[in-house]
């Protein structure tokens, strides 16, 4: 009988239908860019296939489209015969793809709640230990440390375990949070040939999926703002498009505050993704607009709302996709009044900053 192990070269089994998986990732990216237009996304995919040979004789574009239908990613569009629309499964896959792309290094959580600076009866064990107090849960008792204390206090010959010997592991309180995500859909988000709305959508979808998976007890509401502001469903994020709008930041903040007033959670906050200054107000049925410089009438109204949010203990984190000095000056003033946070970010770094600030701002601080 021989001892030991025999090693041989490891040859991994070929992945089943690898062509579909690689094309699916690219298709999800294109669907986000085309705001859910399947025909346009497939046209782009065909063009990329011709240029870069994405498919081969064994698996072609026709096979990929058939698999999309069989696997439930595409469905017949009843409103337009002969065309397709993406399904709820696709919408979820797009959010998951965005989460993987932006928060790919994130480790999965277990509870889906947020730590506070307070200790006591909670969900997660900390590294702190203390003496037993009446009302502590049995599972908090550290038996190893308690037995050690008993041996020290009473000796081995007359061993006994008393309440004074017990030592418990401290736990951290968990809390819920309510977040409103504001997305600027004014015309400047696609101005000068630069696509800023696609990265903004990806961040919103990744955040939505993150909250759903890691923080299921939280609430996340998404609103968009242009000339006006309105709430959208998370499932509608892939279809979001820029309009011929000015930037009515006031309308967005007012709607966000209305939503958060109805939430009973102890922690509330606003994330605002924008690339420009506020340029619009609604006065009765009319709009006051000024796209040139920083109009103090518009700016002052916006600053006043930042102060109101501070009184309501609603911090605002602003992600400004711009580097103009006068815009930064406005955001600095806005952030100082609110006592919130602001980031001046390139599109590439936006997702990381959103996640980093999301984790930090979940703690209720005073």
Report which of residues 15 and 147 the model is more confident about: 147
Phi first, then psi: give them for residue 316, nearest 5 degrees: -115, 125
C-alpha to C-alpha distances, 19 to 22, 59, 69, 84, 119, nearest whole angstrom: 5, 7, 15, 21, 51
Report which of residues 5 and 98 the model is more confident about: 98
Of the pLDDT bands very low, low, confident and very high (cuts 50, 70, 90), residue 249 is: very high
Task: Report the percentage of the chain scoring pLDDT > 70.
Answer: 80
C-alpha to C-alpha distances, 161 to 47, 134, 148, 151, 158, nearest whole angstrom: 76, 16, 10, 8, 10
The pLDDT, as a whole number, for residue 104 is: 64
Task: Report the percentage of the chain scoring pLDDT > 90.
Answer: 43
Region 189-218: what's the mean pLDDT? 84
Report which of residues 128 and 281 the model is more confident about: 281
C-alpha to C-alpha distances, 230 to 248, 294, 300, 320, nearest whole angstrom: 11, 24, 22, 21
Residue 170 neighbours by CB under 8 Å, 6+ apart:
119, 120, 125, 126, 128, 129, 130, 140
144: left (phi over 0), alpha (psi -120 to 50) or beta: alpha
Phi first, then psi: give them for residue 161, nearest 5 degrees: -120, 115
Region 89-115: what's the mean pLDDT? 68
Q: Which residues pair with 282 in a beta bridge?
A: 287
Mean pLDDT, all residues of the chain: 82
Q: What is the Cα–Cα distance from 104 to 142, expressed in whole angstroms?
A: 36
- pTM given for the model: 0.71
Contact between 234 and 177 (Cβ < 8 Å): no
C-alpha to C-alpha distances, 255 to 180, 240, 249, 252, nearest whole angstrom: 9, 18, 10, 5
Q: Is the pLDDT of residue 106 over 80?
A: no
- Residue 54: CB atoms within 10 A of its CB come to 18
Q: Is the pLDDT of residue 228 over 50?
A: yes
Of the pLDDT bands very low, low, confident and very high (cuts 50, 70, 90), residue 122 is: very low
H helices within the chain, ranges in order?
18-33, 38-52, 61-70, 88-102, 143-154, 197-214, 249-261, 296-311, 325-338, 350-360
Q: What is the Cα–Cα distance from 149 to 151, expressed in whole angstroms?
A: 5
């Amino acid at each position: 009988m021989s001892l030991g192990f025999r090693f041989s070269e490891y040859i991994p089994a070929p992945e089943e239908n690898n062509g579909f998986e690689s094309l699916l990732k690219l298709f999800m990216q294109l669907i986000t860019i085309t705001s859910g237009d399947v025909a346009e996304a497939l046209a782009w995919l065909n063009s990329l296939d011709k240029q870069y040979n994405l498919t081969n004789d064994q698996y072609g574009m026709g096979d990929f489209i058939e698999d999309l239908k069989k696997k439930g990613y595409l469905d017949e569009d009843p409103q337009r015969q002969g065309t397709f629309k993406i399904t709820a499964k696709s919408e979820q896959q797009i959010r998951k793809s965005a989460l993987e792309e932006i928060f790919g290094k994130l480790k999965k959580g277990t509870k889906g709640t947020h730590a506070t600076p307070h200790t006591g009866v909670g969900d997660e064990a900390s590294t702190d230990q203390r003496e037993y107090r009446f009302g502590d849960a049995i599972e908090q008792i550290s038996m190893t440390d308690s037995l050690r204390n008993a041996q020290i206090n009473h000796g081995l010959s007359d061993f006994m375990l008393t309440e004074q010997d017990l030592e418990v592991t401290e736990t951290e309180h968990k809390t819920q949070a309510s977040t409103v995500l504001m997305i600027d859909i004014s015309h400047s988000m696609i101005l000068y040939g630069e696509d800023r709305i696609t990265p903004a959508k990806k961040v919103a979808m990744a955040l939505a999926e993150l909250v759903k998976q890691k923080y299921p007890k939280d609430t996340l509401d998404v609103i968009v703002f242009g000339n006006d502001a309105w709430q959208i469903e998370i499932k509608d994020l892939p279809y979001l498009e820029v309009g011929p709008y000015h930037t009515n930041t006031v309308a967005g903040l007012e709607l966000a505050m209305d939503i958060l007033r109805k939430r009973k959670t102890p922690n509330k906050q606003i994330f605002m993704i924008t690339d420009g200054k506020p340029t619009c107000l609604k006065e009765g049925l009319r709009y006051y607009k000024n796209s040139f410089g920083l109009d103090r009438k518009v700016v002052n109204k916006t600053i006043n709302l930042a102060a109101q949010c501070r009184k309501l203990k609603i911090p605002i984190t602003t992600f400004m996709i711009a580097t103009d000095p006068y815009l930064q000056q406005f955001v600095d003033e806005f952030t100082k009044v609110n006592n919130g946070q602001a980031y001046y970010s390139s599109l590439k770094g936006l997702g990381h900053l959103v996640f980093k600030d999301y984790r930090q701002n979940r703690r209720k601080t005073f």
